[in-house]
Amino acid sequence: MTWQQRYESSLMNTFGTPKLLLARGEGCHVWDSDGREYVDFLGGIAVNSLGHAHPAVVAAVTTQLQTLGHVSNLFTSEPQIALAERLLALLGADGRVFVSNSGAEANEAAFKLTRRTGRTHVVAAEGGFHGRTMGALALTSKAAYREPFEPLPGTVTFVPYGDAAALAAAVTDETAAVLLEPVQGEAGVRVPPDGYLSAARRVCDDHGALLWLDEVQTGIGRTGTWFAHQLASGQGVTPDIMTLAKGLGGGFPIGVTIGVGATGALFEPGNHGTTFGGNPVACAAALAVLETIEKDGLLDSASALGKTLRDGLPDPRVVEIRGEGLMIGLELSVDAPRTVSAALDQGFVINATGPSTIRLLPPLVLTDADATALIDAWPRILDAAERSS
Ligand SMILES: *Cc1c(COP(=O)(O)O)cnc(C)c1O
């Protein structure tokens, strides 16, 4: 039996059959079960912030697991407290942290936190993606994801992303929270206009609503700043709630919900919980990621390499290039899924978020040589995609 047959007869068909069985990774490179090498411009969907098998993550996880692997939240551990302190310091705010295992869980906790305001209405953005649990799905606009599972909890108003006036019109004194991604990821890397998040902050303040920023994909250096709300769209903005996950653990599952100021005190004992969340191994992995980003100057390098890619990938078949740092979206005049297949054939892992949209989310440890390799191969990849259609 091939691995595809084994996969199809043993795993639920939620993802379709994967394109490759990957066997090994190192830095920005992965190898499949036939020993073929690929440069990874997806990084496990913005998760492998330090690439694959980074020595700092391997050492942190190994040492922690050998020392203390799990304690439940009836107890705590030094890595859990140190991580919470470190994240609050990076955000530059007082507050409280809840640690879970994924982006959806981080948002689920945040959604419950907003209920503790006594209000239930949430305003979220069209094209936004917040995860697949019932709560996170209720806040996600895409009909194809939602409709098979309705009714979903809550009263949610969706507004066009990037339109401050539409947002202002939707928020009332009954609104518990406004939920936004600082750059939309699953929508194909949509960067809002400068000042959009600052406008959202003002609207929330006017109505006593919480500003909740989902930085699950954008956070932890992805856009060249620790958090994407520190870019021009939200300079000076501090959210009331921020959720993190993907890149934080460097490949180890972790999710984080931060409540800033009084918002962090809205949960009382018994309001929420988790068995695995905050376990010392995941927290040690996250601490190693944060330390390495700082020590190796990966924020600056994400900005610089992002510019290299955005400058190097224009082509007559590229209609638009969007993005910040190493979060890049390309609108093509050729079929994006065929472009993904052509790229794989030529040794590059890239991603399509739609029929004409390519997304790149390489590890922050991307090298100049790897960026140049994609730029050099790009016209040939587009040629092959065109020929195959
Ligand atoms: C991926 C993602 C999520 C969901 O994270 P999971 O770990 O898949 O549950 C939530 N919000 C955003 C912005 C994401 O990109």
Domain ranges of the chain: 3-53+297-388, 56-295
129 a known binding residue?
Answer: yes
The mean pLDDT value of the chain amounts to: 97
The rounded distance, in Å, linking the Cα atoms of 387 and 15 is: 27
> Tens digit of pLDDT for each residue in 120-148?
999 999 999 999 999 999 999 999 999 99
Residue 192 CA from chain centroid, whole number? 16
Per DSSP, the three-state class of 30 is strand
Note the pLDDT tens digit of each residue in 21-56.
Answer: 999 999 999 999 999 999 999 999 999 999 999 999
Tens digits of per-residue pLDDT, 359-382? 999 999 999 999 999 999 999 999
Ligand 1 pocket test, pick from 108, 140, 217, 220 with the greatest ligand atom count within 8 Å of Cβ, gives 217
**The whole model's pTM is what?**
0.98
pLDDT digits 0-9 by tens, 70-119? 999 999 999 999 999 999 999 999 999 999 999 999 999 999 999 999 99
CB 103 near ligand 1, within 6 Å = yes
| For residue 182, cis peptide bond before it (omega within 30 degrees of 0) | no
Nearest atom in ligand 1 to 128's CA? 13
Q: What is the atom index within ligand 1 of the atom nearest the CA of 103? A: 5
- CA gap 175, 180 in Å, rounded: 14
Q: Enter the tokens of residue 385.
A: 């995609």
- Which atom of ligand 1 is closest in space to residue 132's alpha carbon? 9
Which numeric CATH code is attached to 3-53+297-388?
Answer: 3.90.1150.10
| Residue 251 pLDDT grade (very low, low, confident, very high; cuts 50, 70, 90) | very high
- C-alpha neighbours within 13 Å on the C-beta side of residue 284: 21
Q: From the CA of 138, how far away is ligand 1's center (Å)?
A: 14
Contact 378, 326 (CB under 8 A): no
Select from 250, 252, 185 the least CA-distant residue to 217.
185
Q: Determine the CATH number of domain 56-295.
A: 3.40.640.10
177 is in an annotated binding site: no
Q: Which amino acid is at 312?
A: G
The burial class, CB within 10 Å (0-12 / 13-18 / 19+), for 165 is: exposed
Bond into 151 cis (ω within 30): yes
Summarised one tens digit per residue, pLDDT across range 161-196 is 999 999 999 999 999 999 999 999 999 999 999 999
